[in-house]
Structure 1
Amino acid sequence: MKRIFGFGRKKKGQLPPGSASLSCPAGAYELRQKDLGKLHRAAASGDLAQVRQGLKKYGIDGRDKAERTALHLACANGHVDVVMYLVENKCKLNLLDNDNRSPLMKAVQCQQEKCVAILLDHGADPNLADTDGNTALHLAVLSGSIAVAGLLLEHSANIDAQNKEGCTPLILAVSEHHEEIMEFLLKKGADVHARDQCERTPLMTAASGGELSLIKVLLRYGADVSHKDTNGWTAEDYAVIHGYTR
């Protein structure tokens, strides 16, 4: 299946190889010290005292060159105390960076569960979409985090949201071979008949990869074996075409 989610691309504001940067967890922003103001640098490093000082001089929602706020940086790096302080001081929760990602989306992408919980409890929108059309729930699926996916669904995340390729979180879970999160989504009511832009269903995606265990789960939830995509192919056709005649 064509990979269209955009996670391998170099993001705006990221470092060229060999540049001095702040350390960061997988998925977080790569940051050059010289590109950050004092408030953003303090938020990225988790220095709460400096964040407090910075708020006396700088606006809480000020942006850097990549449109990131202090909240974006604190969330991406998992600085819970800084996130709570910013939220309690009425920062805006749903501002978007250059990739159209909110602080919540960065917290999800970087698997910062506590930050995700704080943002959702204070009203962050779980249904915003980034430049690829992915919502926070799509990002939770990519990270394989059932706990974060559950938090998002508890706060009214759209379980069947489609990205720009028409992929729902369930279709994405199948394409990423995440059986556990796939079944979790199905138990929560995800549409087993969801279709992408080419009318492909989760069953077709599983069949094209020869994923027998995934196929069994999808069939148990009533997946339609007779549905045809825009090429007129069924899930069985996908299995045969990809060499999985079994």
Structure 2
Amino acid sequence: MANPYSMIPQPPPPPPPLPTSFHNGNQVQCSPSFSSISDGENNQDTSSQSKVSCFKTHSSKCKQKELQFHLVGAIESGNLVQVQKLVNNGVNIDCIILLVKTPLIHAMEQGQEHIASYLISSGANTNKAERNAWFRHPLHTAVFKNMYNIVLKLLVHGAVIEAQDGNGMTPLTYSAIYGNSEITKLLVSYGANLNHEDFVNRIALHFAAERNLLDIADTLIRLGSNIDHQDKYGWSPLFGAVMYNHIEMVQLLLSRRANVQLLDYGGDGIMHLACSRFRREKVFVVLSTSEDLYKRKRRIPTLSFQNLCVKFRGSNIDIIHCLIDAGANVCLSNFEGLTPLDLCKEQNVMKSLVSVGSPIDPGWIQSATLCSESGENTEIITWLLEQFQLQQRLIFACKVAIRRYLSFTGCISSAIQKLPLPNAMKDFLQQVY
């Protein structure tokens, strides 16, 4: 039988003894509240110090933001004295203002060259870029704002001459786009790469050609830029000049012996482009290689291309004649088997191509015969039938062969004049409608 007293709970163990100390040789027991009070005071001191530190940090940031706010106003008003005071009071001259840019870039964008010069002298970072998709460095901004002295000062203070923006363009590319030949020469003298490619493999000469900047293009070519450099789509600077109908630029490039036999990566030669500039695939190339970052990504036409569509959609017969005289192949078939003659839609262009040997499709003759019987477009049809018969004769074959041989000269018309032939024969060889 179980012991009834075993069910009675046992008393708890005694508490541990309190800490003791000795005072004047006598043992004294410490009060438990003394230790807890001491720990509380230490925690309060630490918390107070932390609050003071946070307050000082917050106060410092507020002061810096206030100085930066006043710096923006001083830059936009052109107040150099106020800028100097703010710098002396400790404003961060490399801070980000207006969400994306440094004071140095903002000063240049506002046209405040004297303030930009002072900031550079005061130690502003000459390589700190914008914090947006453009990603322009101070040197890019100085170039497109046409500030020669600031460009020079940035270079002296260590600006990276091959800095790239969001399109992969360098300051030299900007100088070709915005048309300052003196800045171009300065950048080249500091070692800028004439053949640096952006993200679509275009170099500065491509943009100069498209914008018809003759001085810039001439300078770049003389200094060693590759006149036949092909971009991502196989276009050389000559393709851009033809696309934008710049006859003076075409003449300049041809005089510097630009290659008229190049093919783009779609299989078209320069004559294919000249005869059909507004085909969808050609417009796509223009939209995909724009100098404007946002428009390039979204395939939006630039203002220059819109003007081209409005003003120059008509004939470019002068450029056709320049290319023919330079020896461009009018018989070339592209990847689809089409010749320039197959693509042209204008009678004067068609006559020019046929007169220098572009072969007439026999199928056209059958259609032309039917049209002539019905009385439609009798003049051009009669001319086409005559040319088809002429192309079957030996004398025309000789004309085509001689012109093709003389294409290496780069100027067929001048070469013909030097041939020891009768004037009548020279006139026949020269004949281009």
Range of TM-score over shorter length: 0.7 to 0.9
Identity %: 23
The aligned residue for residue 47 of structure 1 is 113
Residue correspondence of structure 1 range 76-155 to structure 2 within 5 A: 76-155=144-223
- Does the Cα contact within 8 Å between 1:46 and 1:82 map onto a contact in 2? no
In the alignment, residue 147 of structure 1 is paired with which amino acid?
D
TM-score normalized by the length of structure 1: 0.80
Once the two structures are TM-superposed, the CA of residue 52 in structure 1 deviates from its matched residue by 3.5
Secondary structure at the aligned position of 2:122 is classed as helix
1:158 maps to: 226
Q: Equivalent residue for 1:56?
A: 122
Q: Give how far 1:69 is off.
A: 1.3
Matched, 1:217 2:285: no
CA contact (8 A) 1:46 1:74 kept: no
Residue number in structure 1 paired with 2:255? 187
**Structure-2 separation of matches of 1:71 and 1:233:** 46
8 Å contact 2:320–2:349 — kept in the other structure?
A: no
Using the TM superposition, give the Cα deviation of residue 87 of structure 1 relative to its aligned residue in structure 2, in angstroms: 1.8
Tell me, yes or no, if structure 1 residue 197 matches structure 2 residue 265: yes
**Contact 1:48–1:82 under 8 Å retained in 2:** no
Asked if 1 retains the 8 angstrom alpha-carbon contact of 2:167 and 2:199, the reply is yes
| Stretch of structure 1 that moved more, 49-58 or 185-194 | 49-58
Q: 1:245 to 1:53 in 2, by over 3 A?
A: closer
Q: Deviation string for 1:155-184 (max 9, x for gaps)? A: 211111111111110011111101110110
**Once the two structures are superposed, what CA deviation does each residue of 1:126-157 show, in whole Å capped at 9, x if it has no partner?**
21122232210011012111100011112211
* Deviation at residue 50 of structure 1 after TM alignment: 3.3
Work out the CA distance in 2 between the residues paired with 1:34 and 1:40: 13
Quote the residue 2:242 is aligned against: 174
Corresponding letter in the other structure for 1:221: A
* Correspondence for 2:101 among 33, 36, 40: 36
Q: Which runs of 5+ in 1 are unaligned?
A: 1-21, 23-31
The one-letter amino acid of 1:217's match is C
Q: CA deviation at 1:223?
A: 0.9
Q: CA deviation at 1:121?
A: 1.9
Equivalent in the alignment of 1:206: 274
Q: Distance in 2 between matches of 1:46 and 1:85?
A: 15
Structure 2 residues not aligned, in runs of 5+ = 1-75, 77-96, 278-314, 352-433
Select the structure that is richer in helix: 2
Counterparts of 1:58 and 1:88, CA distance in 2: 13
Give the distance between the partners of 1:143 and 1:48, measured in 2 at CA. Answer: 31
Structure 1 residues 220, 164: closer, same or farther in 2, change over 3 A? Answer: same
Sort the Cα spacing of 1:204 and 1:50 in 2 relative to 1 into closer, same or farther, 3 A: closer
Q: Could you tell me how far 1:83 is from its partner in structure 2?
A: 0.8
Paired residues of 1:208 and 1:242 also in contact (CA < 8 A): no
CA positional deviation for 1:244: 5.5
| Letter in structure 2 aligned against 1:167 | W
Secondary structure in 2 aligned to 1:35?
coil
Q: CA deviation at 1:242?
A: 9.8
C-alpha contact 1:193 1:224 (8 A) present in aligned 2: yes
